[in-house]
Homo-oligomer: A and B are copies of this chain.
Amino acid sequence: MQEADAAADAWFAFVVEARSGRARAGRLTTPHGSVETPAFMPVGTAGVVKAVTRRDLADVGAQIILANTYHLMLRPGDDLVAELGGLHGFSGWPGPFLTDSGGYQVFSLAKLRTLTEEGVGFRSHLDGTRYLLTPERSMAVQANLGADIAMAFDECPPWPAPHEAVDAATARTTRWAHRSLAAHARKDQWLFGIVQGGVHLDLRERSARELIELRFPGHGIGGLSVGEPKPDMLRVLDHLDTILPEEKPRYLMGVGTPQDLLEGVARGIDMFDCVLPTRNARNGQLFTRSGKLSIRNARYRSDPLPPDPECACFTCRTTSRAYLRHLHQSGEITAATLMTIHNLTHYLDSLRHIRETIVLGRFEEYRAAVTQRLAAEGQQP
């Protein structure tokens, strides 16, 4: 462990550069470049962010991409990805990658799961092939994928679940964190632990304290945004903010809406990922400074305005709502590309702007103004 820390120190760093309230502006250094935090990671499930190219990702200002261990181990297989140079060589994305542990997808996508202390047996949702995912196997797959940041293998209980079930899953997550750490060998890859515990503050606190002892260089917060009421999520974040070490990055997994990001940052979160901007783009839902816009709506039929008149992305610079609506209604692939470019820009621009307000010490002021504006427009903050 000491040795791993020393070797990783040559490659990695995380520095909090400014604070405003509990919000933090930081910088994460990885072998493939640095990431300004708070950061949003576009989701590249199968080793590609759906509907865009790496050039589009660079244009929108993405600094780190998330890829899914579960999907890639099934197709094309992590051995093949390793043979072609890991995710970087395979996909051509030159910046940092983070891979999840596969656990969450096994629980949400795979069939015929059998959960034991050893790990999770399941059948592929693609072709029914039988797999066993354990902490050791997850580390081996993530080593093959070669992301800059890997995640410990965890058990994510469903919501709602009784306290004792969440308790058991949380205890197992700690045991699996030990095994993940023992199996993790790549010195050019950081391994983050994952805090579980559902909406129960006692379990969240125990989970966090047990992981902190293991000296992970960063902490994921899992098991949120899985159906629980929003105030429950915010309560958990408030509590964890008082426990997790300030000098290490905190990653709120699978979250969320632009408002969720704002509230997460307000509670000391540094990293986020979510399929919302990319998935909604393919469904014709655009995020704008005035809230959500559904391009299918007939009111946009002849609307010459760009999706968001205040946005400077390629799509907003070149495309009217009327044209986007036509492309979407006609089932044109280009609609998905253009709307993904916009939605990712919206997320990344929001966080860039949030970071500026933190550096200027005016984050809370900004947060209040955004919350007020969205409330005035009838959108849930």
Contacts and interface: CB of A to CB of B under 8 A. Distances in A.
Interface stretch (A44-52, A211-219, A287-295, A346-354): A44-52
Contacts of A53: 314, 318, 334, 337-338
Nearest to A327: B48
Contacts of A330: 46, 75
Contact of A50 (B54, B320, B333): B333
A202 interface: no
Given A91-B323, A318-B92, A323-B92, A302 B333 contact: no
Interface string A301-338: 11010000000001000111011011101101110111
A46 B91 CA distance: 31
B48 A334 contact: yes
**Which of A46, A320, A330 counts the most B-chain CB atoms under 10 A from its CB?**
A330
Nearest to A85: B304
Interface stretch (A76-84, A175-183, A366-374): A76-84
Contacts of A336: 333
B302 A84 contact: yes
A55 interface: yes
A304 B84 CA distance: 7
A336 B337 CA distance: 11
A166 B122 CA distance: 64
A326 B55 contact: no
A299 to B, nearest CB: 14
A131 interface: no
A323 B51 contact: no
Nearest to A318: B92
A203 B80 CA distance: 59
B319 A50 contact: no
A90 interface: yes
Given A53-B337, A314-B55, A329-B75, A319 B92 contact: yes
Given A55-B314, A333-B333, A333-B337, A322 B50 contact: no
Nearest to A319: B92
Interface string A27-50: 000000000000000000011111
Contacts of A304: 84
B46 A327 contact: yes
Given A53-B337, A314-B55, A338-B53, A84 B320 contact: yes
B332 A48 contact: yes
A90 B323 contact: yes
A322 B77 CA distance: 12
Given A46-B332, A53-B337, A322 B92 contact: no
Contacts of A47: 323, 326-327
**Which of A314, A322, A329, A338 counts the most B-chain CB atoms under 10 A from its CB?**
A322
A338 to B, nearest CB: 7
Contact of A83 (B54, B302, B318): B302
Contact of A334 (B50, B84, B325, B327): B50
A334 B341 CA distance: 13
Interface of A: 46-55, 75-76, 80, 83-84, 90-92, 282, 301-302, 304, 314, 318-320, 322-323, 325-327, 329-330, 332-334, 336-338
Given A51-B334, A54-B318, A333-B337, 18 more contacts: A47-B327, A48-B327, A48-B332, A51-B333, A51-B337, A53-B334, A75-B326, A75-B329, A76-B301, A76-B326, A80-B301, A80-B326, A83-B302, A84-B322, A90-B320, A90-B322, A91-B323, A92-B323
